[in-house]
Amino acid sequence: MIKRLRWIFFGLFFHIVTFPSVCAQSVTVPAGEFQMGDGSGEQDERPLHAVRISSFRINKFEVTAAQYDSCVRAGVCSPAHYDDGKCLIWNGTRFQNVTVPQAFRRPDYPVVCVTWHQARAYCRWKKMKLPSEAQWEYAARAGTRNVYSWGDSGPSPQRCVMPEKRCPDEAGSHAPNGWGLFDMTGNVWEWTNDYYDQQYYSFSDSQDPPGPDVGLYRVIRGGGWYSGPAQLRIANRHWFSPDYAEASIGFRCVE
Ligand SMILES: [Ca+2]
Ligand SMILES: [Ca+2]
């Protein structure tokens, strides 16, 4: 009996260690104030400004292909654009519309080739939302002023995915930041809820800024597997149409 229990405990421990997805999926981020942006960064990252954020919960990992697929099978989400020629892939020189290789679709890899609308639909299905830009940046910084979620030193294959690999890594394969969040910098870019406005930081609310009221594009953050050091910076902002799909853009959800 004791021997059997021991094996059950060992099996459970092994399962938890081997499959972090069975552990808590989200962490609670404490309320606080931080300096958002980069005073010496690109024009849309200025001015550096103080922002207060209420406590919220955020996914530890980028949403995986398996998680997204469960939403598709539930009849709520539409399939990721792996096969319909809509998804763009960086081939090292330029973006191409091709059928997405199987290497991008493995169950524990971040789902990619999803539009902003698809990302939002998934989060809603989980009774969650996409993070605001401010929530995303606050969570990525984890109380620091670091350039990247791991510190100030430049990217390396151990810290994030480098372009030579030509595809993402399994979600959560690099060290987490100080708040236990994986792959905030790199692996795949992450859709945020906010419309993009280059000037937003000069007039945004100082408490839980929700993003501009209107816009044509939605913001992505964090850089992806093909990104260079400048793109990977926490303060970096980039944007696409909410109907755009790319093999290096995924997302995570907050509540
Ligand atoms: Ca990421
Ligand atoms: Ca930028």
As residues whose CB is below 5 A from the ion ligand 1, the structure lists: 183, 187, 222
Quote the distance between the C-alpha of residue 26 and its chain's center: 13
Please give the chain's pLDDT, 255 residues, in tens: 455 545 444 444 444 444 444 457 999 999 999 999 999 999 999 999 999 999 999 999 999 999 999 999 999 999 999 999 999 998 888 899 888 999 999 999 999 999 999 999 999 999 999 999 999 999 999 999 999 999 999 999 899 998 888 899 999 999 999 999 999 999 999 999 999 999 999 999 999 999 999 999 999 999 999 999 999 999 999 999 999 999 999 999 999
**Secondary structure (DSSP) of 137-163:** HHHHHTT---SBTTBSSPP-TTTS--G
The helix/strand/coil state of 134 is helix
Residue 31 CA to residue 164 CA, distance in Å, equals 38
How many Cβ atoms sit within 10 Å of the Cβ of residue 15?
A: 11
Domains, the chain, ordered by start: 26-250 (3.90.1580.10)
Identify the nearest ligand to the CA of 136 by its number: 1
Identify the nearest ligand to the CA of 237 by its number: 2
Residue 248 CA, ligand 1 centroid: distance in Å: 9
Q: Is the peptide bond before 47 cis (omega within 30 degrees of 0)?
A: yes
Residue 232 CA, ligand 1 centroid: distance in Å: 9
Identify the nearest ligand to the CA of 252 by its number: 1
The helix/strand/coil state of 93 is coil
In this prediction the pTM is 0.91
